[in-house]
Structure 1
Amino acid sequence: MDDRPRMKPPSLDAILGDAAATGFAMSCEERTGSLLATLAASKPGGTLLELGTGIGAGAAWLLHGMSPAARLISVELDATRQAVAQRHLGADQRAQFVTCSADHWLDTYTGPALDLAYVDCRPGKFQRLPDLLSLLMPGGIYIVDDMLPQATWPPDHQDRVDQFLTHLPSTPNLLSTPMRWASGLVVGTRI
Structure 2
Amino acid sequence: MKPKNLDDILEKANELNFKMSCDIETGQLLRVLASSKRKGIFLELGTGAGASTTWILDGMDTSSRLISVEMDESIQNIARSVINDERVQFVTVDGGIFIEESKGKKFDFIFADTWPGKFYYLEETLTMVTSGGFYIIDDLNPIDSWTAGHEDKVKNLIRTMRSLEDFQIVELNWSTGLLIATRK
Structure 2 equivalent of residue 141 of structure 1: 134
Q: Is residue 71–residue 94 contact of structure 1 (8 Å, CA) maintained in 2?
A: yes
Relative to structure 1, is the Cα distance of residues 72 and 111 closer, same or farther in structure 2, using a 3 angstrom cutoff? farther
Deviation at 1:162, TM superposition (A): 1.2
Percent identity over the alignment? 40
Residues 1:180 and 2:173 aligned together: yes
Q: In the alignment, is the contact (CA less than 8 A) between 1:26 and 1:152 conserved in 2?
A: no
Matching residue's letter, 1:22: L
The two structures, once aligned, show a CA RMSD in angstroms of: 1.3
Residue 77 of structure 2, aligned match among 56, 80, 83: 83
Do the aligned partners of residues 76 and 8 (structure 1) sit closer, same or farther apart at CA in structure 2, a change above 3 Å counting? same
**Number of residue pairs matched by the alignment:** 184
CA distance in 2, matches of 1:173, 1:102: 24
- Tell me which residue corresponds to 1:55: 49
CA distance, structure 1, for counterparts of residue 12 and residue 144 of structure 2? 19
Q: CA deviation at 1:44?
A: 1.1
CA distance in 2, matches of 1:102, 1:144: 15
1:3 alignment partner in structure 2: none
Residue of 165, 169, 173 corresponding to 2:162: 169
Q: Give the match's secondary structure for 1:168.
A: helix
Cα 1:152–1:25 shift into 2, 3 Å: farther
The residue number in structure 1 matching 2:11 is: 17
Are the counterparts in 1 of residues 31 and 58 from structure 2 also a CA contact under 8 Å? yes
Q: Which runs of 5+ in 2 are unaligned?
A: none
CA distance in 1, matches of 2:104, 2:82: 25
Deviations 1:85-138 (A, max 9, x none): 11111x200000000011111111267520000000111111121101111111
CA–CA separation in structure 2 for the residues paired with 1:152 and 1:109: 32
Q: Which runs of 4+ in 1 moved over 6 A?
A: none
2:103–2:124 Cα contact (<8 Å) kept: no
